[in-house]
Structure 1
Amino acid sequence: MAKRLFQRVADEAKPPAIWGRPGCGPPDYAAYVLLDDLVESGAWLDLELKRPFLAAWVNDEDFDNPDLNDPIVALGQSDLRKFAAMDPVVDLESLRGMKVYVIEPYLR
């Protein structure tokens, strides 16, 4: 069985991250925790995996109108741009409309 996208990102990042770390808030914050871990560790991720991971965020219906009053969402917006700018660099706008099948918790 193929690993889910976010689990693959956590496993294949260098250094690896933890997907679904216990005690890090509600389950729907898991994606934000993973993204923050990637940024804080300076993780490298193969472009073929980094692009769909970032596309899942960019193509979320709330990406263009985030609730910046929620500190987790505000941090996620900042981390997303930081991670995209890390090597290998990904232009977030180039990911618009990219179809990604994500079965992990909704990105909110």
Structure 2
Amino acid sequence: MLKTSEEAAMAKKLTGPEREQALAGLADWRLLDDRDAIQRKYRFPDFKAAFGFMSAVAEIAEEMDHHPEWFNVYNRLDVTLTTHDAGGLTRLDIDLATRMDAAATEFGG
């Protein structure tokens, strides 16, 4: 399937000032040392809230066709974002992280 120019730009690996600016807007995310990815640990009031958040994010991820790596235990959710096709961090990851942060507030995270 052919990508639009906007989709192609979203999936292009971030470098230089564009990368620094994008990461500056994600206060609770950290850049991983061992790979070109970002990670955040979410905490929710209980399992139901964590699962509700995950369900909401699943809808967002499907809409974006960009899926997180995540690990859940009870009220904790650890999320890693990277764009495998690009070999690292892209605008897709930044946008998904931003949307996840917005959704987390709805679930007490």
User: With structure 2 as the length reference, what TM-score do the two structures score?
Assistant: 0.29
Whose Rg is larger? Answer: 2
TM-score (norm 1): 0.30
